[in-house]
């Protein structure tokens, strides 16, 4: 693996390992950070440990990389198929050393690139939740991690002359460049794994009942009714014995209010509101009921009925036009949460239809009619080898 800190290397490494193991390939990750935390008694959350001018720390970090490289070589010698070196491997010097040490094995460098500031900041917040940063305040930990990244920048050289490499946008899972000059076993599988959406356990939930639901109004930012709050408490109780580290919501009050009781019954849980998961923008029809739309804008009512998927509200959007942002939200969710095991999205009826159709192929004309109730949720598990969907009642 190659890339600056917090660029998704470990998530990609874990994905590759698990997918290869599913095909009975003996694969193992050798993570420099894990070894560093075991070997170094000093506080490695302090940024100065990564300062290239800190000669003592440089020697320690080089020693850790050397030990891990030796462990990987021994694993391969003992019959292992794929050793994954999970570290920044940011310098050309480090990569040359890897190639020299493993000169009897084909090497594939996978460089993870992500320059999305919002996701980088969210990723840093996830990183500093680990015990390594427990003695620092949140502000101190963020400053320290960002300073750590800055120390890597002067030595960071992107892959370009290595014989075998893939440069991938780790947020959108798109290959930016690849070069394969030698035979690399499992290359086709690995490349496919890198660009395929997989998720172990996703719970897709619609927010609880709102005052707008009672009046059959669309859009807006209505709050939950007492019944809606009761539904949120029932959800919290249902998931209380299951670890939910991350809950993604829209930026609307009704989704966040549904998430809060669930978070309260978890040991450790973070709510991440994403604008990408907001409900359809109904434009000039926002906050109106369907009967009001039919009466005031009969042409909107009739035109939308003819092609609900492709129709966009005047000054607003529709299913087709919201696809790009929903896909972007799904990529953010997968990037931040795929190492968490269980992920939850609390969204809206139309937004959830689009999320569901992303994983489960449906004809475009059928997407606006997917059943998204408020007393049930969808359980989704998608891997390289299977897709599983189940509609489950929580009360």
Report the catalytic residues: 206-207, 213, 254, 279, 348
Residues 259 and 282 sit within 8 Å (Cβ to Cβ):
no
Q: What is the full DSSP assignment across 214-255?
A: HTTB-SS-PPB-HHHHHHHHHHHHHTTTS---EEEE-SSHHH
If phi > 0 it is left, if psi is from -120 to 50 it is alpha, else beta; for residue 224 that is beta
Kindly provide the b/e burial profile for residues 312-346, where b requires at least 16 CB atoms within 10 angstroms of the residue's own CB.
bbeebbbbbebbebbbbbbbbbbbbbbbbebbbbb
Q: Mind giving me the DSSP string for 8-59?
A: SHHHHHHHHHHHHHHTT--EEEEEHHHHHHHH--S-TTSGGGG-TT-HHHHH
DSSP designation for 169: E
Which of 349, 221, 366 is CA-nearest to residue 307?
366
């Amino acid at each position: 693996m190659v890339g600056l800190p917090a660029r998704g290397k470990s998530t990609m490494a874990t994905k590759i390992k698990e997918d290869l193991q599913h095909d009975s390939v003996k694969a193992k990750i050798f993570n420099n950070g894990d070894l560093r935390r075991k070997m170094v008694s000093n506080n490695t959350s302090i940024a100065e440990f990564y300062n290239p001018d800190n000669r003592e720390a440089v020697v320690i970090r080089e020693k850790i990389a050397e030990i891990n490289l030796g462990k990987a070589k021994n694993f391969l010698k003992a019959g292992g198929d794929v050793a994954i070196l999970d570290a920044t491997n940011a310098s050309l010097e480090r990569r040359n050393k890897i190639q020299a040490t493993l000169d009897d094995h084909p090497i594939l460098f996978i460089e993870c690139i992500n320059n999305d500031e919002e996701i980088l900041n969210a990723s840093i917040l996830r990183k500093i939740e680990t015990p390594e940063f427990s003695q620092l305040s949140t502000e101190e930990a963020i400053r320290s991690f960002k300073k750590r990244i800055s120390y890597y920048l002067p030595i960071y050289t992107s892959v370009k002359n290595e014989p075998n490499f893939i440069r991938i946008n780790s947020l959108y899972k798109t290959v930016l460049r690849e070069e394969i000059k030698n035979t690399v076993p499992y290359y086709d599988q690995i490349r496919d794994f890198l660009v395929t959406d997989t998720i172990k356990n996703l719970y897709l939930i619609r927010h609880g009942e709102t005052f707008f639901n009672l009046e059959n109004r669309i859009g807006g930012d209505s709050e939950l009714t007492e019944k809606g709050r009761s539904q949120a408490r029932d959800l919290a109780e249902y998931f209380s014995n299951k670890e939910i580290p991350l809950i993604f919501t829209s930026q609307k009050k009704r989704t966040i209010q549904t998430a809060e009781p669930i978070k309260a019954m978890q040991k450790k849980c973070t709510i991440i509101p994403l604008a990408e998961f907001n409900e359809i923008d109904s434009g000039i029809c926002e906050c109106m009921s369907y009967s009001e739309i039919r009466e005031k804008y009969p042409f909107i009512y009739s035109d939308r009925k003819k092609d609900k998927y492709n129709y966009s509200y005047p000054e607003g959007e529709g299913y087709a036009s919201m696809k790009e942002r929903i896909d972007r939200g799904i990529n953010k969710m997968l990037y931040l949460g795929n190492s968490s095991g269980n992920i939850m999205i609390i969204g809206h009826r139309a937004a959830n239809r689009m999320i569901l159709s992303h994983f489960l192929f449906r004809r475009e004309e059928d997407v606006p009619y997917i059943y998204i109730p408020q007393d049930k949720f969808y359980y989704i598990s998608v891997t390289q080898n299977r897709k599983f969907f189940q509609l489950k009642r929580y009360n």
